[in-house]
Structure 1
Amino acid sequence: MSVTHDVPLAEDSALAGLGRQDPELAEILVAERRRQSTTLQLIAAENFMSPAVLAALGSPLANKYAEGYPGARHHGGCELVDVAERLAVERARELFGAEHANVQPHSGSSAVLAAYAALLRPGDTVLALGLPYGGHLTHGSPANFSGRWFDFVGYGVDAETGLVAHDQVRTLARARRPKAIVCGSIAYPRHLDYAFFREVADEVGAYLIADAAHPMGLVAGGAAPSPVPYADIVCATTHKVLRGPRGGMVLCGSELAERVDRAVFPFTQGGAQMHTIAAKAVAFGEAATPAFAAYAHQVVANARALAAHLAAEGLVVTTGGTDTHLLTADPAPLGVDGRTARGLLAAAGIVLDCCALPHADLRGLRLGTAAVTTQGMGEREMQRIAALLTEVLRGDLGASRAREDVRRLTADFSPWPRWGATGHA
């Protein structure tokens, strides 16, 4: 299934104008577009925005200062940006079936910070997936505000299955009586049981916060269960599978709406980025279409196919597969650790991440299929990618030869067809 975009925002004329004013930066932009077009983008958190999203992102709304909310700004001249923000809010509410949406968070981390600010006080106990098992920095890392301000308790995954250890979650919740429970991960390839987490939260009198940064695009397309009916607050990003601009959002019920809004502004952020909010509105509109639903399901089909082919080639795929857009795998059977594998693959034009592997000392690989699916790739291409990846890691295919193979593959699936792989029409 092909889901490609016609052109990037930076038309040749625009780049030409930038080239005359700032040739150094223009060359960087051209080179980055070429890199994205000629290498495989398998980072689970990345995707390709549509020209319409990019157009809003680079619009005159970037010039407008708009502290506050529609109808209650701290600056004049906000009549039109108010309309844009209301549109983004309404589209988000309709898309996810939420009573309230705040679309101002600058990132997923900002959204999580706002959720904590709305519900918690410094020193409160929070139960979340431990970082060694795929928890995010905002889930209690000592290097992050979350680990410094709150008392985080980490639950894990079963050593055999790799699935969330529900018995441990319940036991820890009963013993520690947390103020909030967080369900969410940056590297968990299976659907979370939101109903279970809701049950445990109710039992111990805790708030339930769903950090759905990764699966929210799949939720929009009907390819993953929604946390909205279960969580008190849902935090998410607007990029990744959702294919919008880099940013965040917070969804909640009407009873928490005022607390969430005050937690975003003025407590954790200043002026809203109105160009980004407009781009979010475009992305929400795109995600409400049948074409996006087909895309979301293809993302999952591709991830499952890639997981199966990698397992057949000898990698150990955690949890035995995936339900989502991402998968994690141990390349050790091929004779390399995750960090070494990432470097070898980068040299071959295959771009992906390392991640912690549950109950293991070494790091593994995290791969995602959102971007390559946007390019129009399907299960057949996932088999080619798996073969290329494993040939590189086994040492059967050198970096130069692999790069040529990657270029041939990506030439048929450019994110921006009118420009081709070189960035020229």
Structure 2
Amino acid sequence: MSVTPAPAAQRSTPAWGTGFEALVRQDPELAGLLLGEADRQATGLQLIAAENFTSPAVLAVLGSPLANKYAEGYPGARHHGGCELVDLAERIAVERARGLFGAEHANVQPHTGSSAVLAAYAALLRPGDTVLAMSLQQGGHLTHGSPANFSGRWFDFVGYGVCRDTGLIDYDQVRDLARERRPAAIVCGSMSYPRHPDYAAFREIADEAGAALIADAAHPIGLVAGGAAPSPVPYADIVCATTHKVLRGPRGGLVLCGARLAERVDRAVFPFTQGGAQMHAVAAKAVAFGEAATPAFTAYAHQVVANARALAAALASEGLVIATGGTDTHIITADVSPLALEALTARRRLAAAGIVLDTCALPHGRARGLRLGTAALTSQGMREPEMMRVATLLGAALRGEGKESGIRAEVAELAGNFPPYPPHM
């Protein structure tokens, strides 16, 4: 789909910092694209489970002079001069992360969630080691053994799955595979599983097999921060996470562990897998951790789950089949085949209506389904009544009811009532 945003000079200037006015003067083409993307986000329904709207404070730090600073190494032991202030920023981020999640150690430097997982593997594994993780066909992530990814090329991954009748993790299968294959590590976590993992069960299985336990909590970590999901920190040797998604921070990664593994994790991040930290992102993570420690964020996290449950029930009423019969998190996975649609066609119809989401694999060889999440809509202030309307619009778009332009206008009206950012931040 081609996008032709209005010339930046003809648009009102958003309060993204004084630098935007300089961008308009110097590169109006790119400034127009930024404004066009802002319009796209503000006039549609953003249901991608991995996306959210950061706070204005996080955006401010990301566009700050901290982006100029090179800071290889760690606070007090940098390979560059002039790091006194960014050292303080990183120490604040680390201490806030430790306090927020009750972890003995935190590394806030990973550039992405995948970088965090890579660091965890580097800290605990050697090339060729056997690793047990959720099968990609049943909800596992790219870093859980895809042959196109470093994980599948460097390690011997064995996949576990979910029960055919319930869609829930088959812990008996996990235990049997662990006993048979004796993996060096077990990974619990996924990209599309909408229920809470039983971390205690995973810990018990890992201990029996003599394996390390790695929790890939990229999706639920924001819910953990808000007390709306159980924490993997007391059970896992290493917890990998992202700082965006429900956490509402900048795009980036996070590693949590006990003091015993702190040095190994830090060396796995730098110098083994990364160079210099992105200090504007590190400081923005500190802002997000601070925000996540507030009562307002706790209320937000619980509302994210309430919205997801309401939306899942409403989508079922529209004829979609909801995986596992519901959700405990912000994630909903749905089968659209009862509507005589396949997932990619469904996604295209929804995109034309301004409803943006993803597709994902469905377990046990079924066709692909839709994966959607409620974090961004909740950040905009939507609650259960709006979830009912979202489901109605989504169902109408999938069934082709009415003119496409009419549904798109209704979507824009709903989104317009809940702007992601105030007109003047």
TM norm structure 2: 0.96
2:420 to 400, 415, 419: 415
Deviation string 1:265-312 (CA, Å, 9 cap, x unpaired) is: 000000000000000000000000000000000000000000000011
Determine the C-alpha separation between the residues in 2 that align with 1:106 and 1:213. 13
SS at match of 1:354: strand
Question: Which residue is 1:78 aligned to?
Answer: 83
- Unaligned 5+ segments in structure 1 are 1-6, 420-424
Determine the C-alpha separation between the residues in 1 that align with 2:363 and 2:386. 29
Structure 1, 25-34 or 395-404: larger mean CA deviation: 395-404
Quick one: which amino acid aligns to residue 278 of structure 2? Answer: Q
Instruction: List aligned pairs for 1:250-329, cutoff 5 A.
Output: 250-329=255-334
Deviation at 1:128, TM superposition (A): 0.1
Question: Which residue is 2:67 aligned to?
Answer: 62
Question: Could you tell me whether the CA contact under 8 Å between 1:112 and 1:138 is conserved in 2?
Answer: yes
Q: Does 1:36 align with 2:36?
A: no
Quick one: which amino acid aligns to residue 197 of structure 1? Answer: F
Determine the C-alpha separation between the residues in 2 that align with 1:8 and 1:308. 37
2:388 to 375, 383, 386: 383
Question: Which residue is 1:105 aligned to?
Answer: 110
Quick one: which amino acid aligns to residue 409 of structure 1? Answer: L
Question: Which residue is 2:16 aligned to?
Answer: 10
Quick one: which amino acid aligns to residue 194 of structure 2? Answer: P
Determine the C-alpha separation between the residues in 2 that align with 1:217 and 1:9. 26
In 2 relative to 1, CA 66–14 (structure 1 residues): closer, same or farther, beyond 3 Å?
closer
Quick one: which amino acid aligns to residue 108 of structure 2? Answer: V
Question: Could you tell me whether the CA contact under 8 Å between 2:76 and 2:87 is conserved in 1?
Answer: yes
Determine the C-alpha separation between the residues in 2 that align with 1:39 and 1:399. 14
Deviation string 1:75-109 (CA, Å, 9 cap, x unpaired) is: 01100000000000000000000000000000000
Determine the C-alpha separation between the residues in 2 that align with 1:15 and 1:146. 40
SS at match of 2:131: strand
1:196 to 187, 201, 214: 201
Question: Could you tell me whether the CA contact under 8 Å between 1:303 and 1:322 is conserved in 2?
Answer: yes
Determine the C-alpha separation between the residues in 1 that align with 2:187 and 2:394. 34
1:345 to 350, 370, 393: 350
1:223 to 228, 232, 235: 228
Deviation string 1:171-210 (CA, Å, 9 cap, x unpaired) is: 0000000000000000000000000000000001000000
Structure 1, 86-95 or 328-337: larger mean CA deviation: 328-337
Q: Does 1:233 align with 2:238?
A: yes
Determine the C-alpha separation between the residues in 2 that align with 1:172 and 1:166. 10
Q: Does 1:118 align with 2:117?
A: no
Quick one: which amino acid aligns to residue 98 of structure 1? Answer: A
Deviation string 1:113-133 (CA, Å, 9 cap, x unpaired) is: 000000000000000000011
Question: Could you tell me whether the CA contact under 8 Å between 2:56 and 2:421 is conserved in 1?
Answer: no
Question: Which residue is 1:4 aligned to?
Answer: none
SS at match of 1:304: helix
Determine the C-alpha separation between the residues in 2 that align with 1:17 and 1:335. 50
Question: Which residue is 1:209 aligned to?
Answer: 214
Deviation at 1:394, TM superposition (A): 1.0
Deviation at 1:254, TM superposition (A): 0.1
Question: Could you tell me whether the CA contact under 8 Å between 1:8 and 1:50 is conserved in 2?
Answer: no
Deviation at 1:8, TM superposition (A): 6.6
Quick one: which amino acid aligns to residue 195 of structure 2? Answer: R
Structure 1, 54-63 or 260-269: larger mean CA deviation: 54-63
Question: Could you tell me whether the CA contact under 8 Å between 1:142 and 1:148 is conserved in 2?
Answer: yes
Quick one: which amino acid aligns to residue 178 of structure 1? Answer: P
Question: Which residue is 2:167 aligned to?
Answer: 162
Determine the C-alpha separation between the residues in 1 that align with 2:70 and 2:364. 48
Determine the C-alpha separation between the residues in 1 that align with 2:299 and 2:129. 42
RMSD of equivalent CA atoms? 1.1
Question: Which residue is 1:130 aligned to?
Answer: 135
SS at match of 1:182: strand
1:374 to 356, 359, 379: 379
Instruction: List aligned pairs for 1:79-98, cutoff 5 A.
Output: 79-98=84-103
Question: Which residue is 1:178 aligned to?
Answer: 183
SS at match of 1:45: coil
Count of residue pairs brought into register by the alignment? 413
Determine the C-alpha separation between the residues in 1 that align with 2:416 and 2:232. 38
Question: Could you tell me whether the CA contact under 8 Å between 1:128 and 1:153 is conserved in 2?
Answer: yes
TM norm structure 1: 0.96
Deviation at 1:66, TM superposition (A): 0.3
Deviation string 1:49-70 (CA, Å, 9 cap, x unpaired) is: 1110111111111111000000
Question: Which residue is 1:153 aligned to?
Answer: 158
Quick one: which amino acid aligns to residue 220 of structure 2? Answer: P
Deviation at 1:417, TM superposition (A): 2.6
Moved over 2 A (4+): 13-17
Question: Could you tell me whether the CA contact under 8 Å between 1:224 and 1:324 is conserved in 2?
Answer: yes
2:360 to 352, 355, 358: 355
Quick one: which amino acid aligns to residue 85 of structure 1? Answer: E
Quick one: which amino acid aligns to residue 300 of structure 1? Answer: V
